Structure 1
Amino acid sequence: MKRRLRRLLALVCALALALSLSGPVSAAGDIYFTVLNDSVVSLSDSTMPTWSGGVLYVHYSAFDGSNTARIGFDISFSYNRSSGMATLFNTRQFLTFNMNNNTSYNALTGEYLNGRAILRNGQVFVPVALVCSFFGLSYSVISIDEGYIVRIKDNSVVLSDPDFVEAATLSISRELRSYNQANQSTATPGVRPPTGGSGETETNDLPIEEEPDTADSIPVYLAFRCDDDQGLSDILDILDERNRAAVFFFPAEELERQDDLLYRILGSGHSVGLLAEGSSLAATRQLLEEGGQVLERVGYTRTTLALVPERQRSALEAEGWVCWDETASAIPEAGTGASSHANAVIRAIPAGSQRAYLTLDAGTESARVLPTLLTRLEARSYAVSVPLETRL
């Protein structure tokens, strides 16, 4: 009886608030609220859950705990438009969506999974069932008078679904009121769950495709040697902002020290290699073995990419290593102007080259000149491309 009374009072308050609005309330069933454990996420067209092909999708931010605007799950997200890779990851698991070929896979084991990500108005949406299953979460879809709740939960959830619906009545009403105020002059978007076998399609969830090289476009691959890593975080920010990828070569000791940035590099679709510059072939082999063991232990992955002394490349390539074949050094000298540096790098690329391999370090000077270098390269028809072990 008390529960019914509380519910009735909450509904009365919600109705009173709704009646004070000047705009209309959206029709029931058209609105999808995202809830994380016991918290209602701000209602927005750009992040509202959606259906496609009978599968329920949610905006990636529903899982991205790195969003400081709210308390999220212990999961981070990265999306590299250039490579078409979207990844949800933590320190133990990597779930990668290839937006170019509509596949998903466990990046640590290579196992392909049943699901894909889609683009909606340029935003990445992921299948809620697949992601929850992969990371040990659960979800429920709850029908309410205002529409539907998509509730994603981990083991810290407090309220059951019925108790949450009762407790969140005013929060739901506030979100709906704010949403309607923001959309008074436009029709309310949103979709209802498809009925069996509707076969509906969407025009804006097509996979993104990497632009092919043209006859006038020369691929350029960037590498950063991370023995100096003071500018590494800034370099990653710049590459993410420009949607460009690179390969990062680490000595064994830096792999362990920079494990957080290593996870970010792997999750952002970049490549990781080993930096090994022994005084002899045997010494370099030993460094590669040590680096490989650390990478497997810390980053849960393996690599055959290596940056080694030029005189040792042939022997190591015969053993299966993919060695970086530098076309020109792009490591800037302290105080060099960014424009002067970019021009010098371009001049150092031999005329008639079919491709170019540029090496920078991960220091603060490289971070300073990188934006100008990227701009100048692309202005001269050098296409900064995704470095892969099968492509170098």
Structure 2
Amino acid sequence: MRRKLAALLLCLLLVFQMSAVPSEAAGTVYFTAVNKNVLSLSDATMPFWSGGYLYVPSTIFTGVGRDLGVSYYPNIAKQTVLLYVDDTIYSSLVFDLNKDYAIDNEGNMYFQKPIQRGGVIFLPISLIARCFGLLYSTVEVDRGYLVWVRNPDMDMEERYFADAARSRMDYEYSQYLRNQGTAAEETVPEQSEPSVVTGQRIYLSMEAAESAAVSSLLDTLDRYDAQAAFYCTAGFLEEAGDLLRRMSAAGQAIGLIADAADDRPVTEQLEAGNRLLSQAASVKTRLAWIRNATAEAVAEAEAAGFCCLTPDLDRSAYPLSSTGAADTLFQRVTSRSGAVTVWLGDGANAAGLGSFLSAAEAADDRCLAMTETVS
């Protein structure tokens, strides 16, 4: 009898201990840091990806975030958010919660919209960093990722900062689990897209060649709610303004193509491409694909602030134009672990892309737009 009673008490103790620790509640999380400060971790303010863009809470520009030098002013009556520098509006961005674009002080439009979840407004950090000269990184850490937003004078390597911030992230994570365990009920974001990327992350990159073909590829991406990166020649940038605006509005990534064998320097080609892109869609990019690349050409482009694509898989010699080609590509991609970048060249068509996206969807993988921190 005593043995049975002792066994019962042990079982009750184990049940109590297991129920008291929400060890699997959180899954992958996104920590946020501003300059040297790791911020509190919560579902309400956790960064997330949407339309290929990384979104951060607007609250990073308040409190310790004021050290970034960017001021934040929400206008509840007009449903707008103003970001500006040095207490002036001479360098500013205005986001309208009812529109899918932002406008700077020169009247340029950027087709990256604000997203409101609960009572928190989230903003695309890539656009803000570009307009105000900030830096940002996503670093893989224990339990998830660290989104680090900082001023350019924060001269510290990303991995070194993540290692130095580990104890603080451990503390914030334990507080996060504790708050989850004591919450009255679990809150669900209003947006349909999850804040945590699940499955394998696939970054498809292709050349924007013929307009009709690109339009069909965009239709296919829309049908599967997927994103990709389209790298454009100067000729495409000059002729396909409607498609460029559509890409930007749909959250597709846009890159530039330069040729190291050209007489003009690579940076000159890329800067000319950005001028054409700005004229067509009021956006600029730092993504670049360099044909006939040399180490010197890549170094030159990166020194000028461009992010050169270095794909994990170069499939440009194998057109993604059929179900068989899609199956082969999917096998190659899934044989790798973690995020995979793929260069398709100009050989993809709607049929092949659709077959690949269907397979990825069935496997719970996600095709995302290329970002500056992935390329």
Q: Report the TM-score, using the length of structure 2 for normalisation.
A: 0.48
Larger Rg: 1
Higher helix proportion: 2
